[in-house]
Amino acid sequence: SRTFRIAPSILSADFARLGEEVRNVEAAGADLIHFDVMDNHYVPNLTIGPMVCQAIRPHVQIPIDVHLMVKPVDRIIPDFAKAGANYISFHPEATEHLDRSLQLIRDNGCKAGLAFNPGTSLHYLEHVMDKLDLILLMSVNPGFGGQSFIPHTLKKIAEVRKLIDASGRDILLQVDGGVKTDNIAEIAQAGADTFVAGSAIFGKPDYAGIIAGMRRELAS
Ligand code: DX5
Ligand code: ZN
């Protein structure tokens, strides 16, 4: 059976109390800290960069999973590695040289991920499976937390699950956008093992209760 991972997205955290927020979500049972980087160019919003990654790093033991929604990507990858990122993912449309960018992440000592928007073709995976540690499927269009899960993504999750199993490699299948306690079981059923959840967790009174509820759904 699959190991499931919950990755709270700090996009929905209280940015004025970020250290406390990441400590609380780790204590509540999070497996990864999902760190959304937006540049007001590749996506229509502007968030946080390597300095903030470095600032939260000493507050948690769990891996920091950096989701780059920026273009270009190569220049910023070494900065995130130095800031303590463990995973770094980017979108294939945001680089001219997909293989080079993935290799750059590995050369900087991090695990590499490729992120797909709801409308982005999976053909980008064809020649780079060997360089991947994570595949991130967006189930909303990137830029904002709190959007609704796009149901068509379920079919894409199942397709990627087949590709990962056929590769025989240990690649996480992460789903990002609109993940809630009431749809997480169905998303897992489609083949996901790693679940990003922002608005479902942050801003709610009981992080541990929500994460435990998600794990109960995954076990059922
Ligand atoms: C969206 C981000 C997501 C977002 C998820 O562009 O990549 O990680 O924070 O937020 P929710 O869980 O609220 O959809
Ligand atoms: Zn994200």
Number of domains in the chain: 1
In angstroms, the CA 29 to CA 7 distance is: 10
Write out the E strands in 10-110.
33-38, 64-69, 87-90
Per the annotation, binding residues are 9, 34, 36, 67, 143-146, 176-178, 198-199
| Residue type, position 15, single letter | F
Structure-block tokens of residue 79 = 């900065």
Q: Report the nearest-CA residue for atom 1 of ligand 1.
A: 142
pTM of the predicted structure, to 2 decimals: 0.98
Using the atom order of ligand 1, give the atom closest to the CA of residue 11.
9
What CATH number is attached to the domain comprising 90? 3.20.20.70
β partners of residue 8: 197
Domain, as residue range, for 214: 5-219
Q: Which residues contact 83 (CB under 8 A, 6 or more apart)?
A: 50, 51, 53, 54, 57
Which residues surround the ion ligand 2 when the cut-off is CB under 5 Å? Answer: 36, 67, 176
ipTM for this prediction: 0.98
Using the atom order of ligand 1, give the atom closest to the CA of residue 147.
14
Asked if 193 is an active-site residue, the reply is no
pLDDT tens for the chain, 220 residues long, are 689 999 999 999 999 999 999 999 999 999 999 999 999 999 999 999 999 999 999 999 999 999 999 999 999 999 999 999 999 999 999 999 999 999 999 999 999 999 999 999 999 999 999 999 999 999 999 999 999 999 999 999 999 999 999 999 999 999 999 999 999 999 999 999 999 999 999 999 999 999 999 999 999 8
8 Å CB contact between 7 and 194 = yes
- 136 C-alpha to ligand 2 centroid (Å): 8
